[in-house]
Amino acid sequence: MSSDLSIILPRVLIVSRRTLRKNKFVDFVGEYHLDLIVSYGAVPVIVPRVSGVHMLLSSFEPIHGVLLCEGEDIDPSWYEEGDNNGTLSQDELDEIRRVHASDTAIDKEKDSIELSLAKLCLERNIPYMGICRGSQVLNVACGGTLYRDIGKELSKKCPESQRVMHINYDDYDGHRHVVKVVDNTPLHSWFKDSLDEAKMEISVNSYHHQGVKRLAQRFVPMAFAPDGLIEGFYDPDVYNPEEGKFIMGLQFHPERMRKSNSDEFDYPGCPFAYKEFVKAVIAYQKKMNSLTCVPKSPKLNKEMEVKRKIIVRSFSLARNLYTSGHGKRGSSKDSELEAGAEFLESNTALSVQQENRLKQMGATVRNAGSYVERLKLNEEREKMARNVMGKMPVEQLSDLLSFYHTMAQICSQVLETKIHDLVVNNN
């Protein structure tokens, strides 16, 4: 496999959900998510929901995008202070657990993995899209809060006409409820051809009993249910798919909004969230590759290439003389050896290792005397330096090493710049 990151498809991390099958835990991800990610040009990388994975997320690098979707309720300790249960009594909490038994089983490991990934995306501006639970994770990661149960905390405060069924256990795929889309938002641009300007409404598929209570400050709502629940939000300061910017949460399921017994979407705008998300992922990958690509070494012009070959030829002849032990040389060889000798004289700042290597090659034909003296002096200096450093404490040695490492980097950068300028000037 090639190590060239420029030819690797962008990677989107998706955390699996755990379920029980044949008395064993099984990890899974909804196939609609995977299909859409692949169809728009990215590769889904499934992060298994197993113990300890939240400590190993660096092993999944490079990360070009994160998509978080369904799952159980988030542990309320992430967004509630102390033991505060809001306005819910213990009897109400017990009833919620009975009614929503499949969703109220807290999965602390999944919480840790997904919140770590969300915070990583926020720190590095990695494209992030949260669907359903994934939108709640994003809000909590940014300091927002959630309703522990919409029915108990929100619906009972609404007039009967405004109450919304956000979950239907008997009709997961077919269930729909109305949301009002906010103008001048990404969601509006995706569904504008399907919106009546008077109502600005679409019918969405949803499957949740919790939702955003207090929206984190950085986010702007994109849609509301009739009961006032926020059904979509985004960060306008981090939204520009062409530049690799995308931070968004959707409480509803656009990937599941399809006509009965068909893969045709309810609205042309349904897949646009995935399309724009992957667009941002691809742009983010390109941006990261441009920062990590090592610039190619400048090409030598013809004149410098000829000089290089002459020097290489000179060193080769000198090496042959050194290894064969022949002291006699023809006049033609003497003239060819001049180039190597001149090169050595003009490079007096060579390291001891480099000079030892040149000595082994026999590249000191003409200036052998001065070269040997220089080598002895360098050896004495090295011996003196070793004696001094041997008396230094570990802290000083560490500082010294760091200093010279920095100086070496600076030297390398300056040298590369000078070589580039030399090549440009000779062209």
Domains of the chain: 5-292 (3.40.50.880), 302-391 (no CATH)
The pLDDT of residue 1: 43
pLDDT in tens, 325-347: 555 555 555 666 666 666 655 65
Task: Report the sign of the C-alpha dihedral through residues 76, 79, 85, 88, in that order.
Answer: negative
- Catalytic site residues? 132, 253, 255
Q: Is the pLDDT of residue 98 over 90?
A: no
Question: Helices 133-141 and 108-124, interaxial angle, to 10°?
Answer: 60
pLDDT in tens, 234-248: 999 999 999 999 999
The amino acid present at 369, given as its one-letter code, is G
pLDDT in tens, 286-316: 998 887 655 555 666 777 777 777 777 776 7
Query: H/E element holding 64?
Result: none
CA distance 57 to 115: 12
Buried-exposed string 340-375: b where 16+ CB fall within 10 A, e elsewhere = bbebbeeeeebeeeebeebeebbbbbbeeeebeeeb
pLDDT in tens, 396-427: 766 677 677 667 667 767 776 776 666 566 65
- Please count the helices (runs of H) and the strands (runs of E) in the chain: 12, 13
Can you point out the beta strands (E) in 24-134? 24-28, 43-47, 65-68, 128-131
pTM: 0.67
The pLDDT of residue 5: 47
Q: What is the mean pLDDT of the chain?
A: 81
Of 202, 212, 354, 329, the closest CA to residue 269 belongs to 202
Can you point out the beta strands (E) in 29-114? 43-47, 65-68
CA 163: distance to chain centroid? 41
pLDDT in tens, 110-167: 999 999 999 999 999 999 999 999 999 999 999 999 999 888 888 888 888 788 888 8
